[in-house]
């Protein structure tokens, strides 16, 4: 079924993006600032909101949490497409929820990230929408 394959493709893209990003968050220096002085300032700086953490620790936490969101999306929607396709394709709520998550990822990628995640989340969004459209045919 084409609709299931497209939703699974969308989910796999998000799983890969989230998984790679989560790995980069905790291993390696891919998400570190190029300027070591910036990292040092982030390690010593506190948020206006609270002095219980540093800018650097918050940065790591934000990166990890949005990685987990992408992984969660991938796991949930792959499961729904493969194990409960009737539920997914009959639920306007689940369809709107998945679409809204992906559209928000595209907007965030366009405004704040760089080309690789923008391309990836755009592909995931296009596959998701195409999967929903294919289910209606």
Please compute the mean of the pLDDT values over residues 52-73 and round it to a whole number.
Answer: 97
Joined together, the tokens standing for residue 59 give 């940065």
Note down the domain range covering 62.
Answer: 2-136
Give the number of other CB atoms < 10 A from CB of residue 133.
12
Counted domains in the chain: 1
Summary mean pLDDT of the chain? 97
Residue 13 in contact with residue 130, Cβ under 8 Å? no
What is the value of pTM for the model shown?
0.94
The answer to whether 11 and 120 are in contact (CB under 8 A) is: no
């Amino acid at each position: 079924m084409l609709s299931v394959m497209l939703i699974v493709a969308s989910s796999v893209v998000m799983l890969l993006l989230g998984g790679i990003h989560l790995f980069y968050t905790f291993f390696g220096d891919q998400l570190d600032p190029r300027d070591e002085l910036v990292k040092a300032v982030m390690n010593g700086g506190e948020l206006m909101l609270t002095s219980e953490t540093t800018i650097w620790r918050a940065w790591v936490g934000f990166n990890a949490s949005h990685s987990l969101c992408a992984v969660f999306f991938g796991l949930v929607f792959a499961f729904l497409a493969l194990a409960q396709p009737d539920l997914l394709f009959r639920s306007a709520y689940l369809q709107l929820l998945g679409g809204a998550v992906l559209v928000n990822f595209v907007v965030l990628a366009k405004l704040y990230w760089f080309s690789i995640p923008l391309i990836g989340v755009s592909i995931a969004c296009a596959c998701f929408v195409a999967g929903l459209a294919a289910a209606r045919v």
